[in-house]
Structure 1
C-alpha cells in the first residue's frame, strides 16, 4: 500500500482518514480525544486506522495533521510567563492598543477593555531607534539589553517577544537582541517581529509576535512528541489554507492558530466543488464549537484581520467565524431566566451526561439523545450512551423552567440552532452576501444534526451532507498544497523598488519550499499587494501576479466602497508572496448508481421527537446509493455522524455520495 493519512485532533474526538493512493479507497475512523496528552490521541488514531486496513507503518507515504493545540492555548488564556521587549519610550504600546471597540460604541456601551496579553511589569524597553526607512537614528544599547535579558532570567520569564519600532524595515536591532538573549538567558524561547510579521502597525505586529512566543513552547513540545510517533514526514495544517513541514510550524507556530478549522473549510470546498457548487457556506459542527466559513469560486476566503479569542493575529488565515455551539456545549439556567447554551463545553472528559463519564451538566448531545435524534450509541457502538441519565438531567433542567423534558430539550436545540445561524449571518449578511444564494455544507460529528432547522431559520434551499461528515476535516488535510507566506511593508510608488522586494520575498519562499523537498520546477509563487490612494490610512488587497495592478485596485476599491479615483496616485504598502508546493488531490472512488429503492438501507424505526413524538424510519447511510431518496420523518445514521430528517424534508443521494437535503 501507499497510504496518505490525515489526522485532525479536535476537542472531543481525533478524526482519521487514510487514502490508498493506488486504488483510491478511503478508510475513516475516530478515537476519543486525549486533552491531557493530545499526542497520545494522535498515536491511537494512527494505530487504529492502520489496524483497520491491515497495514504497517512502512505503508504510510505521507502524513498531514491538524491540531488545536495553539488555538486552545489562546482561547484558554494560558499565557503565564510571557514577556515583551520593546523600544525605549514605547512601553505602553499594549495599553494604548486601538481605540476601536467590538461592534461599535452603540452596541458596546458596557464593553470593558480586556487584560493585556503581557502585564505592564513584564514589559522591558531597550535603547536604540530606527526610522521608517530602517536607517539607524540611535544605536542599539547592548549593555541595556543585557540587563533586560538577565532580569527576565531572574524572574523566570522564559517566553519572550521582541518588537522594536520599524524593525519591518531593518531587522538589525531585533537580531542583536536575540543574540543577547541567547547569551544571557539561553533557556528562553524568543520570537522576533521581523520573522513573525514583517509588516507595519506596531500594535498588531506586537500582539502577533507575542502570540507566537506564547504558543511556541507548547507547539514545539507537542509536534516533537507527534513526530516521534509519525512513520512518515509530518506536514502540519496552517491557518493559511496550506500545509507546512513540522519544522516550519515550530519555527513560526502562530501560523497554526486555526489549523483544525481551516482543514474543515478546505475539505468542504473540495467536496462541494466536485458536486458542482463553487459558492457555499460551510458549517463544521464539533464537540466543543461550530466553525462557519464562506466559499466563493471554490476556495474559502482568506483574511489577515483575524483574531483568536481576544488576541488580534495578523497572519494569513482562512476567514472563519467560531461559535460555542458544539455537541458538548453546556445548557444551564441563565441568570435572567431561561436557558443559556454554550460557549462553555463539557469537552471530551467528562463529556455529556449520556457518556457516563461523570458529567454533571446537560449538553446539546444530551438533548439530542433524549429526543431520540441520535442512536443510543456512537461510533458504531464504540461509545454507548446512557439515555436514562441524560433524560434525568434534562428533566431536572425542565423542572426549573416549568417545562416538560421534551420542550426543554427542544428549546436547547433551538437555541443552539440560532447560535449557529447567527454565526452564518455574521459571515454572510453582515458582509453584503445573500445567504440564500449559498447551499449549506454541514459536516463534523454534530454538523448535520441541526441542518433541517438551519434551512428553515436562514431560508436556504439546500444542505449538502458529505460522505463521512464527521471526518471531513481530516479528509481536508489531504486536499491542500504546501503554502509558505511572506510579507514586507514597502510604502512606495516606484515599480522598480516594488519589484526588488517581490524578488527578495520569492527567494525566501523558494528556500522554504526547497526545505520541504520541492524542486525548482515544482515551485509556484502567487503575489498580492495591499494598495491605497496616497493619503489614505488603510489598504485594499489585490492580486499582483501580472497585468495592471493599479487598475485592479481601482476596481476593487469601487466594489468595496462605491467609488474610485483612477487619476489619483496609488501607493504600494504591503507586498505579499505565497510559495506553493503542489500536492496531488485525492480522487476517491466513485459511487455506483442505485435503483432508487432506499428500503434496502432501512433498519427499523425509533420513537423520535420533532414537533411531537413520531415513529421515524431509520436508515444506514452506507447502504444508500446515488439516486436513492429518503422522506422525513427519518434518521440517517452512519459511523461518525447522524442526520435527523424532519417531517417535510427529503434527502437524495447525489452521484458523489452526498446527501442533498431539501424541503419535500
Structure 2
C-alpha cells in the first residue's frame, strides 16, 4: 500500500508552494513550481503532480487544502465590470455618499479625489418596500417594481447583481423575495444577498461587501470547477478568517477567500512559533509580488472586520494583515523628482526579474540581491538559473541615472524595501497600541528572510525566527487549519435594557446555522466546537470593540463576564475605560458565532542534536556585499545544520526555497526543531 498524503497548496504571484504530509509516518515533503498567472489552475495541478511524484508514484491523496489569490487579484486589478446593485427605494446613492473618512487624514486630503464607486449610479436600481431596525415591515415589498428592475438588468446584459435592502439584517424577507423575482425574470444572473453575505448593520459596508461577493463569484466558480474536476481528492479552500471550507460550500461565499494565502501563512507561523516557545510574534511573509505582515498574540493571529482589499472595504472576519508592495519582484524606478522608488509595481512571475531571463526589462529587489551576492546564482536547488550579468546591466543603467555605483544602487533598493516592510510592521503594531520591540519576528516566504537582519536593526526587534522550509510555510499552514464558518446578527441594545432571553435565542440560532454547516462538512456533532464573540461600545461611540464571550447559559453571570472583558479590552486598546461609570453606559451591538470543525495537525518533531560544529554544513565561500564592501562570506547548506549549531555573520545560509544573508554582527542558532533563531 502506498503513502496517504494530505496536501497544502498556496498559489502566490511568482511561485506555487506545496507541502505534503504523510498521514502514517508524519513525514513532510515540500516543493515549489512557478505560478501560471494566465491560468492559476494549471499551476495548482502541476504542483499536485510534482509533490505526489516526489513522494512515490503510488501515493494516494486523501485531502487537498488550497490558498488562492484568484478573488484578491480580481479586486486589486479592478476587473469588476458587469456588476449591478439593487437597493431600497430612496437609497440609490448609498455608494456615492459612502463614508466621511479620507485616506491619510485631512492634512493630506486637499488633492484627494473620491475613487470611482464599485458600481456607478446608473447601474443601481431601487425597489419599494421598507423595514425598520427591528425588522418590522413599514411598507410592503413592491414585487412589480422588483420585476421591472430585474428585467432592466437582463436587458442591459448585467449578470452579477448584489441585493442590499435597508435593515435586512433584522429580517431577510424582502431580499429573499427579490431573489425569487430575479430567478424568474433574469435566470442567468449571479446574485448575492446581503442577508447571506453579511447580516449586520451599516448599509454602506454591507452593500460593498455584498457587491464584492457578487463580483468574484463567477470567476471563483469557474476556477474551483476547473480544479475540482481534475483534483485527486476533496478540495478545501482557505478563508480569510483563519479556517478552511470545502470548495462546494465556499463557491457560495467566495468573498470569504479574499485573504486566503496570507491567512495560511500567518497561521503556519503561529503554529511553528508556538512549538518554538514563542506565543506572541510578528509574522512577515515575503513573496514575489508583496509582503504580508500580521500579529500573533498568545498563539492566535489577531482578527478584524475592518479590512479592505484595494479600495473596497470588506467587512467580513479576517486575519488582520497589512500588505505592502515590497516583494522580490518589486520594480526599482526613478521618480520625476529623480529619487529612487521601489514598488508597488511588480515584475511578478511573467516576465519576472531581469535575472530570471524571462524578458524582464526593469531591475527588481531580487536583481539587487543577486548582484550583491546575497542569493545564490540559481534558485530552487538549480531548477531556475539566474542571469546575474543581466541583472547587473539593468542596475548599471539605473545607477547611471542616479549618479551611483552599482553596489550603492543595489544597496539602496534593499534599504527602501526594508523600510517599506518596517513601516508595514509598525502599522500593525504601533497603531494598535503594541510595542514592536516586544515581539520577535517570524520571517518566511521565499524573500522573507532576506532582509530580516536589517529589520532587527530598524525596528529594535529582539530576534527573528526563520522556520524550516520558510518558502513553503504558507502551504504548511494550510495543513494546520480547522474548518471554520462565521455567523453574525446585529441587535443594538443598552446593557441596562439587555433582554437576556433574546440574546440566548440569537446565539442558539447562530449555533444551529454553524452546526448545519459542520454537518455538511462531515463532522459528527460530538466534534462540533462553537466560539462566541460580541461587539460592544460605549453609548455614543461610532465603532465597537470585539470580545470573546463565554460558552454556556446566557445568564447574569454571562453578561457580567462579557462586560468585564469589554472594559479590559477597551483600556488595553485606548488607555482608558468607563468601568462602573453610569454616565457612559455600554451598548451590545453584534453577536457572533464561529462554528469550528477541528482537524488533526501535523506534529513537528524535535531533531537530534549535533556536535555543535557547523563546518559540516560549509559548502564554500561567495563574495557578498553587505553594504560596507565585499567580503568572502562562508556559505552553509541549511539541511546539514543540526540543533545547537551556531553560525556567525557575515555568512549565507541557503536552502531549496529561500536564503538567509546573515549580516556582520548577527548570529543564527539552530533550535530543537531546526528553526534558525537570529539575534544580534
Match 1:570 to one of 583, 586, 590 = 586
Q: Per-residue deviation at 1:552?
A: 2.2
Q: Distance in 1 between matches of 2:315 and 2:424?
A: 21
Question: For residues 652-663 of structure 1, what are the structure 2 equivalents within 5 Å?
Answer: 652-663=669-680
- For 1:552, the equivalent position in structure 2 comes to 565
- For 2:639, the equivalent position in structure 1 comes to 622
Match 2:30 to one of 24, 28, 31 = 28
Question: For residues 590-629 of structure 1, what are the structure 2 equivalents within 5 Å?
Answer: 590-610=606-626, 611-629=628-646
- For 1:513, the equivalent position in structure 2 comes to 518
Q: Distance in 1 between matches of 2:529 and 2:57?
A: 34
Deviations 1:423-455 (A, max 9, x none): 001111122211111011100000000011111
Q: Per-residue deviation at 1:565?
A: 3.9
Query: Could you tell me whether the CA contact under 8 Å between 2:432 and 2:573 is conserved in 1?
Result: no
Query: Could you tell me whether the CA contact under 8 Å between 2:605 and 2:673 is conserved in 1?
Result: no
Unaligned runs of 5+ in 2: 552-557
Q: Distance in 2 between matches of 1:107 and 1:279?
A: 35
Asked if 1:499 is matched to 2:504, the reply is yes
- For 2:89, the equivalent position in structure 1 comes to 88
Asked if 1:580 is matched to 2:593, the reply is no
Deviations 1:344-369 (A, max 9, x none): 00010000011101111111000111
Aligned residues: 662
Q: Distance in 1 between matches of 2:562 and 2:202?
A: 24
Secondary structure of the equivalent of 2:278? coil
Deviations 1:358-414 (A, max 9, x none): 111111000111111111110001111111111100000000000111110110011
Question: For residues 459-478 of structure 1, what are the structure 2 equivalents within 5 Å?
Answer: 459-478=460-479
- For 1:162, the equivalent position in structure 2 comes to 163
Per the alignment, do residues 309 and 440 of structure 1 end up closer, same or farther by CA in structure 2, a change over 3 Å counting?
A: same
Query: Could you tell me whether the CA contact under 8 Å between 1:555 and 1:564 is conserved in 2?
Result: no
**Comparing 98-107 with 467-476, which one deviates more in the overlay?**
98-107
Q: Per-residue deviation at 1:567?
A: 4.9
Per the alignment, do residues 126 and 376 of structure 1 end up closer, same or farther by CA in structure 2, a change over 3 Å counting?
A: same
Q: Distance in 2 between matches of 1:178 and 1:249?
A: 20
- For 1:358, the equivalent position in structure 2 comes to 359
Query: Could you tell me whether the CA contact under 8 Å between 2:433 and 2:573 is conserved in 1?
Result: no
Question: For residues 161-560 of structure 1, what are the structure 2 equivalents within 5 Å?
Answer: 161-492=162-493, 493-546=498-551, 547=558, 548-560=561-573
Secondary structure of the equivalent of 1:148? helix
Match 2:659 to one of 622, 632, 642 = 642
Secondary structure of the equivalent of 1:576? strand
Q: Distance in 2 between matches of 1:407 and 1:570?
A: 57
Deviations 1:176-223 (A, max 9, x none): 111111111111110000000000000000000001001111111111
Per the alignment, do residues 220 and 397 of structure 1 end up closer, same or farther by CA in structure 2, a change over 3 Å counting?
A: same
Q: Per-residue deviation at 1:620?
A: 0.6
Q: Distance in 2 between matches of 1:597 and 1:557?
A: 51
Q: Distance in 2 between matches of 1:263 and 1:60?
A: 20
Secondary structure of the equivalent of 1:41? helix
Query: Could you tell me whether the CA contact under 8 Å between 2:129 and 2:139 is conserved in 1?
Result: yes
Query: Could you tell me whether the CA contact under 8 Å between 1:551 and 1:566 is conserved in 2?
Result: no
Q: Per-residue deviation at 1:226?
A: 1.2
Q: TM-score, normalised by structure 2?
A: 0.96
- For 1:47, the equivalent position in structure 2 comes to 49
Unaligned runs of 5+ in 1: none
* Aligned-residue CA RMSD (Å): 1.1
Q: Distance in 2 between matches of 1:69 and 1:56?
A: 31
Query: Could you tell me whether the CA contact under 8 Å between 2:354 and 2:390 is conserved in 1?
Result: yes
**Comparing 104-113 with 161-170, which one deviates more in the overlay?**
104-113
Deviations 1:136-172 (A, max 9, x none): 1111111111111111111111111000011001111
- For 2:40, the equivalent position in structure 1 comes to 38
Secondary structure of the equivalent of 2:525? coil
Q: Distance in 2 between matches of 1:107 and 1:420?
A: 22
Q: Distance in 2 between matches of 1:607 and 1:559?
A: 49
